[in-house]
Amino acid sequence: MKNIVIVPNAKKDKELSVTAKLSELLVGIGMNVYIKEEYAAFCRRAVGYSVFPEFCELIIVVGGDGSVIDASGLAVEHDIPLIGVNMGRVGYLSEVDPDDLSVFKRLSFGEYSVKEKMLLSVSTSPSWSHEAYAVNDVIVSHGEYLGISSFRLEDALGNSLGYRADGVIFATPQGSTAYSFSSGGPVLAHDVEGILVTPVCPHSFFNRSVLFNSGEVLTVRNTGEHPMNIAVDGRKYTELLPNEACYIRRADCRLKTLTFSENKMFEELFKKMSVTEGLK
């Protein structure tokens, strides 16, 4: 692995100081480093690009979890792994601490592993045209209308359940520690394949999360009188008008992530949660 793209978040990494330090370190161990032309002046030994270099083998994101999610599209498109340097508050998706950049020296010795993460696919068409991919979750919720939404969840066999709630979250295993967790959902180990469905503030006696098989195809139909929003990883995807449906399933593609650590997911989770508690 010799050719690396750095994707910085200039709002998180002020004056790109961490990005520049990382670039120097990588070049110093014999790596070729590439960065967007607009940032090249901050990283003298990196090569600026206007078009993503197809030959690159790794993306390093310097930012928060949102930055990692934004860069995941590039990683999936080019079928290369990514890893994050955490410049956010907690960083569930970012493994490397900015004070521990020396860990990247292990790239020279092949001391890393590449894991594949399940993604979700969502579309408003049963033919799956114009589908969008989610790293963490797909959320169907009330839009500008602030009242309770009515919708029906249906599986591939036609079994269905009606809800009156603020919305519903469809989470990947890694997304189980995001909005679903805040809504009372369980935490899934990242190597568990499944689609976690968690209602948001349901006006119902049934308020539990349901874990579906990863091969399931789920349908949400807006049975209310007001539009609902579909959000993918926190970004609005489209509206779901009354009597319209959207479809959620496991994506055909996967997100490759590079890691230097062993499979210590829960140890890292508890560490992150302790940091979160300290921010209160």
Catalytic positions, written as ranges: 65
**What tokens appear for 165 in the block?**
């709630």
d(CA 34, CA 54): 11
The residues that bridge with 148 in the sheet, in sequence order, are: none
Number of H helices and E strands in the chain, helices first, is 4, 17
State the CB neighbour count (10 A cutoff) for residue 89. Answer: 11
**What tokens appear for 41 in the block?**
């002046």
DSSP strand pairing (194-200 vs 210-213): antiparallel
User: Can you list the alpha helix ranges (DSSP code H) found in the chain?
Assistant: 17-28, 65-78, 179-182, 265-278
Integer CA distances (angstroms), 157 to 150, 154, 160, 218, 245, in order: 21, 8, 9, 10, 16
Q: Taking Cα atoms as reference points, which of 188, 156, 157 lies closest to residue 174?
A: 188
| Type of residue at 173 | P
Q: Taking Cα atoms as reference points, which of 119, 9, 13 lies closest to residue 73?
A: 119
d(CA 82, CA 175): 17
Q: Taking Cα atoms as reference points, which of 199, 67, 99 lies closest to residue 83?
A: 67
- Residue with tokens 């209602």, as numbered in its chain: 199
Q: Are 170 and 135 in contact (CB under 8 A)?
A: no
